[in-house]
Amino acid sequence: MPADRNARVLSGFLDYLKVEKGLAPLTVAAYATDIGQFSAFLQKQKRTLLNARRIDVRDFIQELFANSVDGRSVGRKLSALRHLYRYLLLDKLIEHDPTLNIDSPKQWKVLPKALARDEMEAMLRGPQLVSPNKEAEAIAARDRAMLEVLYAGALRVSEIVGVRLEDLKLDLGYVLVRGKGDKERIVPLGKSAQEALADYMKHARSVLAKERSSPLLFLGRGARKLTRQRIWQMVGAASSSAGRHASPHMLRHSCATHMVENGADLRTVQTILGHSDISTTQVYTHLALDRLKNVYQKHHPRAKAREGIVEF
């Protein structure tokens, strides 16, 4: 059993720390906690401390970051694993150290969270109005258009509140966006976003403007400018239909992730997101690969070998 093997390995290492290294009990207990956590992670992968791979260590660290463990704590856990595998190498219990060439936690970037495609679809469908009136219908049409644009073009909150009427080229299928550093970029709009925008422009915007003028595309009541907080609230409320709370930035990440999953090249995704450096965009490759591995493990009839793991 993996659990028994892990327990024996950990017990031998802790005895080594106490007897050979003479470490204090509190220090040994800290090692036991950190390595025990990695051991529990490996058991879910049907692996042991003795046959752990470099990708297992990386996935463990990524899971820690995803659970909001701070970099200092992650660094301590990685250090404990390095000491363990140095000991196992010296005792010739393993041939390869899986902690070699693992970046320092300071150099890691936390993978952004993204909604699954079915969650995104549920969110965009949105709840039905209980007691609709003209203004409520206008707000619903505006919110639906904003959600479609946030997802279609991977816009930041600051970008969508600043979009002007003159920036929308609906007949050409794109919108001009001003991003960080006031850099302009052209963002394409899919058919769903175009239809939602056309409906908003035809039926809703004038109701919200109430005969007042504004250069902005998306308006609050009385042609007021929408705040970032209001958009966060709107996205949070809309995401309740998807089963979990989402933020505007999650829609941006979802757009990028789903494009990469469907085969989009990183340069195109970089352009749409407005990233100045493609290394920032490359994080989505890892996110899509993780989901690919999970789907493969679940659905391929030959995916579950003896160890229950397929090498990537």
Q: Write down the catalytic residue from 169, 180, 202, 203.
A: 180
Of 10, 13, 3, 4, the residue nearest 40 (C-alpha): 3
Question: 169-220: per-residue pLDDT in tens?
Answer: 999 999 999 887 778 899 999 999 999 999 999 999 999 999 899 999 999 9
Asked, colleague to colleague, whether 2-107 and 117-293 share their fold, the answer is: no
Q: Quick check: is 180 catalytic?
A: yes
* Listed residue (201, 192, 179, 202) closest to 270, CA to CA: 179
252 in active site: yes
Domain ranges of the chain: 2-107, 117-293
Please, what's the largest Cα pairwise distance for the chain? 82
Interatomic CA distance for residues 29 and 23, integer angstroms: 10
User: Annotated catalytic residue: which of 144, 156, 253, 258?
Assistant: 156
Amino acid letter for position 279:
S
pLDDT (tens digit per residue) in 67-86: 778 788 888 999 999 999 99
Annotated catalytic residue 82: no
Give CATH for domain 117-293.
Answer: 1.10.443.10
Strands of 168-169's sheet, edge to edge?
168-169, 174-178, 184-188
Active site residue 156: yes
Per-residue confidence band for 297, with pLDDT thresholds at 50, 70 and 90: confident
**Active-site residue, selected from the candidate residues 76, 249, 291, 293:** 249
In angstroms, the CA 303 to CA 204 distance is 51
Q: What's the Cα-to-Cα distance from 269 to each of 57, 90, 94, 247, rounded to whole Å? A: 29, 46, 42, 20
Please give the CATH number for the structural domain made up of 2-107: 1.10.150.130
Out of 77, 142, 252, 253, pick the active-site residue. Answer: 252
pLDDT category of residue 304 using cuts at 50, 70 and 90: low
